[in-house]
Amino acid sequence: MRLTLKIWRQPDAATAGAMHTYDVDDISSDMSFLEMLDVLNEQLNAKGEEPIAFDSDCREGICGMCGLMINGEAHGPVTTTTCQLHMRSFTDGETITVEPWRADAFPVIKDLVVDRGAFDRIIQSGGYISVNTGAAPDAHAMPVPKDHADRAFDVATCIGCGACVAACPNGSASLFVGAKITHLGELPQGQAERDTRVVSMTAQHDHEGFGGCTNIGECAAACPKEIPLDVISQLNRDLRTALRHGH
């Protein structure tokens, strides 16, 4: 395959960026999108040019590091992580536009790399269980209704990649926060701090500059782990309950 790539280049956070055009050929349809970028970077290195900076780690769709806007879509034309997107999703001769996540709360560090520290700070504000629950009990010692356990497991698959924020016209992280709230709220261990958790995490979300949710649904459509949109409803219910309790 021969491709034309229009890629956002930005040397640092303080310097204005711009789109640059590159041509690559001999790209196998079996390559992942990141492997294709590796080929391009090898070509740039051979020419003595600065390689393109982009994030990756596991390259197995687990860590959530590899998020890119590809042709205007979070992670590209397939609902998966960028590292699991393969070049067979594109056609020979195609022009592909590659940009970093589009969100004020995710400032660009360099080229396609953004700072997603805002997610870490939201988790630090309350996305955990701090009460002393003792040593690990026997598996059957604390019964959890199956539907609650299943839902907790389902929403715990969120990898914090940020696709929900990048896809949302408002730049909201409500799907991310809703997944974390729902995960802990479905478990017995999460009840003691349920009210303070949702208030603190929502306040931190707003403080970081994420936008408000208007239920457009682009977040759930772009989520590679298929986190359902109704976790935002759970977030809102928990927040209303906490406020009624005086938190």
The pTM of the full predicted model, rounded to 2 decimals, is 0.94
Just give the CATH number of 3-110. 3.10.20.30
Beta-carbon neighbour count of residue 109 at 10 Å? 16
Which of the four pLDDT bands, split at 50, 70 and 90, describes residue 136?
confident
6 pLDDT exceeds 80?
Answer: yes
Say yes or no: domain 116-244 is CATH 1.10.1060.10.
yes
**Given CA atoms 204, 206, 210, 216 in this order, what sign does their dihedral have?**
positive
Q: What is the pLDDT of residue 176?
A: 98
Residues 6+ apart with CB under 8 A from 138: none
Domain boundaries, the chain: 3-110, 116-244
